[in-house]
Structure 1
């Protein structure tokens, strides 16, 4: 009996001394800040990079095509000289890390998507030397229901939003965009947020570029986009904001600050022959 008591006591001590099982950890969450974002006249933007890049590569700034100008419905601009300035923000958005200058408008369109890419005179290494960091473009199609941050360098404000789903076609005036990201109703983006990077809070990667919203409840007019499904049915969602996905850009970025529209998997529209 005494031996049994001693054995039981030893068992109790060994169990109590054993390390407790670790509770399942919550998924990591990245709180988007202004790292990599730029302030520009009338719009927002960000320094972006593909997953594979070199510090010596000229850096790219991404914004909307309509932040260049209102392009024709099927127009695609490739490798045009540019002279545009951007202010690189610090992580708080309160201070500037310095000015950046674009030498080339590498790509811009409002056909099927609404995006522009400027090639800077600065490299990615230069950006880091200034205390900044480029945002990585995700190569994956984002899921519905994810939490995102819409980071506006123009307003110096981060909009915390959720993705409600995707519109088969989004029509606004003479423009039609494909597979557009739709925010939930509490995501109240506004003019000046055009070109803001849309950052997945689960990964910290850019999954879209913010571009429009239905302001007045009108049907398919300027500043009042409507959704069109595969059967041609039209839905108007007043107050809802939208963004254009960016995963299809990643295969086009083949290094050296270039956009190769013939690269395998590149999903950007090409200029008309």
Structure 2
């Protein structure tokens, strides 16, 4: 997982400087193709401006990224409505900088069962559309399908990875963390450090179905940077070089008035803060 942090990928960065292939963004996007619209870059990760199904234009917008892009959180830890002034670089469709968005709070973050964080911004969806001509990406409200064609879009590296949903993993274990029903990619999504928090976009409708978070780097078994798969019978499988994300459809059931996250809302399955 730490390999998804930019601070842990000096070698990859050097390779990009030499070849220029990973950092280069396309000059134009094909019609209806996934591009960099609503994608953001953090100082150490990637992210996206997302809109839950019931959000209003006047609601303060949300940025989706990983929980571990906030900090390495303890098992069972949940952060809710913590003040934050974190900034995000908003990109246009061709990965050029449009401006800076600013958070007012960390609305929700956890590394338990999933690995996600939602920042609430100072700007509303209407503000962003008016100022930057950019609409947020929609958070899909249903479980993604195996075999779906997906794109993992990194705002940090300005790179789009193309692959398919290979399977769903009962439990994905990495060091002290356990994630449930994780999304496994086919091998062409060979994500690198700095891609943490990138949205996983279903090309069928260009909605967000997950958030990129980890991969098995060198074949280790259930250790940091080397997650392992555990099936319902407890059998462990290691897939060296394979990468994973966490689903996000469940976020929609946890949203309340004003685009706030309410883990105690009926039907919400996100982990709740400790009492």
TM-score between both structures, scaled by the size of structure 1: 0.88
**Which one is further off, 251-260 or 228-237?**
251-260
Unaligned 5+ runs, structure 2: 1-30
The ranges of structure 1 where at least 4 consecutive aligned residues each deviate by more than 2 angstroms after the TM superposition are: none
- TM-superposition CA deviations, 1:4-29 (whole Å, max 9, x none): xxxxxxxxxxxxxxxxxxxxxxxxx9
Work out whether residues 30 and 202 of structure 1, in 8 Å CA contact, stay in contact via their aligned partners in 2: no
Work out whether residues 248 and 265 of structure 1, in 8 Å CA contact, stay in contact via their aligned partners in 2: no
How far 1:185 sits from its partner (Å)?
1.5
The count of residues paired between Structure 1 and Structure 2 equals 244
1: CA distance, partners of 2:38 / 2:188: 25
Look up the match of 2:99: 98
- TM-superposition CA deviations, 1:58-99 (whole Å, max 9, x none): 000000000000010110000111110101100111x11110
| Greater RCO (CA < 8 Å, at least 6 residues apart) | 2
Aligned to 1:60, the other structure's residue is in SS state strand
2: CA distance, partners of 1:261 / 1:38: 25
1: CA distance, partners of 2:157 / 2:258: 31
Look up the match of 1:221: 223
- TM-superposition CA deviations, 1:168-216 (whole Å, max 9, x none): 0000000000000000112211111100000000011000000000010
2: CA distance, partners of 1:122 / 1:194: 23
**Which one is further off, 251-260 or 117-126?**
251-260
How far 1:254 sits from its partner (Å)?
2.1
Work out whether residues 209 and 247 of structure 2, in 8 Å CA contact, stay in contact via their aligned partners in 1: yes
1:60 aligns with 2:62: yes
How do residues 108-123 of structure 1 correspond to structure 2 at under 5 angstroms?
A: 108-123=109-124
TM-score between both structures, scaled by the size of structure 2: 0.87
1:74 aligns with 2:76: yes
- TM-superposition CA deviations, 1:214-245 (whole Å, max 9, x none): 01000001010000010110000000000000
2: CA distance, partners of 1:87 / 1:136: 19
How far 1:160 sits from its partner (Å)?
0.7
How do residues 119-268 of structure 1 correspond to structure 2 at under 5 angstroms?
A: 119-129=120-130, 130-268=132-270
Work out whether residues 161 and 188 of structure 2, in 8 Å CA contact, stay in contact via their aligned partners in 1: no
1: CA distance, partners of 2:257 / 2:127: 16
Aligned to 2:252, the other structure's residue is in SS state helix
